[in-house]
Amino acid sequence: MAKQKHAYHDHLKVVPLFAGLDEDELDEVAGCATQLDYPAGKVLMTEGGSAHEMFVVVDGEVEVTRDGEHIADLGPGSFAGEMALLTHSHRNSTVTTKTAASVLHLDGRGFTAVIRDVPSIAAKMLPIIASRVTANSEHD
C-alpha cells in the first residue's frame, strides 16, 4: 500500500490544494485516494447532491456545468468537489467526464479523518480554498 500511496504523490502535487504539502502529508492524503477509470459521459457529481468525495483528474477531461451552463473543462492536474467536501454542503455544479478519464477519488470520511489527524494539512490548504470561494462567487 505504501508504494501505491507514493505513486499518487505526482498527481496530488500538481493540484494547488495539495501543492504545499510535504511527503508525509501527501502520504496521509493519498491514503484515502483510489484511482478509478470512467468512460466519456459518466456523471461524477451532480449539482445539488450531497458531498462525499472529491476527484483529481489524472488523465482525460471532465466538464463542469452549473444550471445546465458550461463553466469549465478540466484536464490532468485539475480537481473538483473540494469545496462541498470540506464544507459538508451540497454540490454547486455537475461534473461529467467529457472523454474517457482516469481520476483519483478521495473519500470524504477518510479525508475528514486526515484533516482531523494532521491539522497542518488544513492550514496549508486554507489560502487555496479561500481563493476558490472567491472565484466561485464570481460565477454566481
pTM as predicted: 0.79
What is the average pLDDT score of the chain? 86
Which cell numbers in the block locate residue 66? 452549473
Neighbours of 13 (CB within 10 A): 15
Q: Do residues 101 and 37 lie in contact, with contact meaning Cβ atoms separated by under 8 Å? A: yes
Domain region containing 37: 2-138
Number of domains in the chain: 1
In sequence order, the 6+-apart residues with CB closer than 8 A to the CB of 25 are: 118, 120, 121, 124
pLDDT in tens, 30-58: 988 999 999 999 999 999 988 888 899 99
Is pLDDT at 92 greater than 90 in this prediction?
no
Q: CATH number for the domain including 89? A: 2.60.120.10
| Residue 1: per-residue pLDDT | 43
Using alpha carbons only, give the angle 7, 110, 76 rounded to the nearest 5 degrees: 40
Q: pLDDT tens-digit profile of 62-77?
A: 999 999 999 999 998 8
